[in-house]
Amino acid sequence: MGRSVLVTGGSGYFGEILAGGAVARGDQVRIFDINPPAASADSIEYVEGDVRDRDAVRAACEGIDVVLHNVAQVPLARDRDLFRSVNVVGTANLLVAAREAGVDKVVHTSSSAVFGIPESNPVTEETPCHPLEAYGRAKLEAEVLCHEAVDAGLDVTIIRPRTILGHGRLGIMAVLFEFVADGAPVYVLGGGHNRYQLVHASDLGDACLRAAAREGPSVYNIGATEFGTMRETLQALVDHAGTGSRSRCVRSRGSGWRRSRRTTGCCTASRCGSTPRVHAPSSTGSRSTPTRRWSSSRTSGSSPTVTSSRRRRVRTTNPPPARDCCAC
C-alpha cells in the first residue's frame, strides 16, 4: 500500500519531479504550494498555501506519512529577508507541524552552499560548514533546526545537492547555452582546471525518494559520480552542439588565477541506495552548533521572486579574482 506524501513546493521544477516520482511508486501525493501544478492526476491533491503560514502548513500535514520539504527561496532573489522568512521560518513551521501531525519521515532539501569555500577536498558530510552569503547561511540555519527536530523525536534526513540541471532547467547556466546556440565563444576563467560537480534533477529526485524510504535521520551530499573540469564540461557541450562555438581561457595579467577548490566529495551511493550517477557518501553529517531553538514561534515574510537572465558581453580586461562559492 502506498504512502501519503506531502511535497512542499511541489509545483516548481524539482517539486514536480518529486511528485511524479512518488506517484510512480504508488504513493498518494499532496502538493503544497502558492501556485497550482502544471499537470494534474487522480493521485495528486493540490493545497494552496504559503510555507510561512503556520496554520496552512499544519493543515497540509494532516494525515501525511512522509514530507518532502522542497520549498526554498533561491539565491537569484538576493533578498536576505526572503531567504530567512522562507528558508528558515518556513522550515521551522514545517518541522513543528510534521511533529504535531505524527509524520513518520521528513526529507529536507538543503544545499551545498552551506559549505562555502572548503579548506580541502573531497567534501564530505563531516566537512565544516562556513557559508559565505545570506542564502547559504539561511540554509545552514534550517539544517540546525532539522537537527533540533531530530532531538525532539522527529525523523529528518537532510539532502545537500550540487547545482541542479536537467531537461527543462538550465538555471544560471542558461546564458552559457545562449552563447553556444549563437556560436559565440564561451569564456573559462584561468585554465578551467577546477573540477565542478553538478547533479541531474532526476537523479536527485530518486535520491530523495530513496532517503524517504529509509528509517532514521541522516545527511547526504548528492552529486554526479562522474564529473570533470570546467573546461572539459564546456568543451563537451560545444562539441555536442556543433554550432562553431569554442571554449576560450581568460587569464589575468598578474600572477594568474587562483585554482578553484570547488569540488565535493565522491564516495559511494550504497547508503542511500541511489542510482549510479548519484553519489551519497557513506558517512553522516556532523552537527553544527545550534544558533536558535526549534519552536513554532515564527513570523511571516513576503513572497518569492523570479528573475530572468539576458545575454551579456564578457569583459576580459583585468577581471577580478575568482571567488568560489556554491550557488545551488
CATH numbers and ranges of domains, the chain: 4-170+190-227+260-279 (3.40.50.720)
Segment 214-224 mean pLDDT: 97
pLDDT digits (tens, 9 = 90+) for 143-196: 999 999 999 999 999 999 999 999 888 877 888 899 999 999 999 888 899 888
Share of the chain above pLDDT 70, in %: 76
- Kind and range of the H or E element at 165? strand 163-165
pLDDT of residue 270: 44
Q: What is the mean pLDDT of residues 97-101?
A: 98
User: What gap in Å lies between CA 206 and CA 201, rounded to an integer?
Assistant: 9
DSSP 46-75: EEE--TT-HHHHHHHHTT-SEEEE-----G
Nearest Cα neighbor of 255 from 202, 300, 205, 322 is 322
* Statement: residue 71 has pLDDT above 80: yes
- At residue 260 the predicted structure's pLDDT band, cuts being 50, 70 and 90, is very low
CA 234, 236, 168, 165 dihedral sign is negative
Pick the more confident residue, 80 or 55.
55
Q: What is the mean pLDDT of residues 79-88?
A: 88
Predicted confidence at residue 273, as pLDDT, reads: 59
Q: Do 199 and 222 touch, CB atoms closer than 8 A?
A: yes
Q: Is the pLDDT of residue 259 over 80?
A: no
Q: C-alpha angle 146/148/149, rounded to 5°?
A: 65
pTM of the model: 0.76
Best-predicted range by mean pLDDT among 61-75, 85-99, 112-126?
A: 85-99
Return left, alpha or beta for 63; rule: phi > 0 is left, psi -120 to 50 is alpha, else beta.
Answer: left
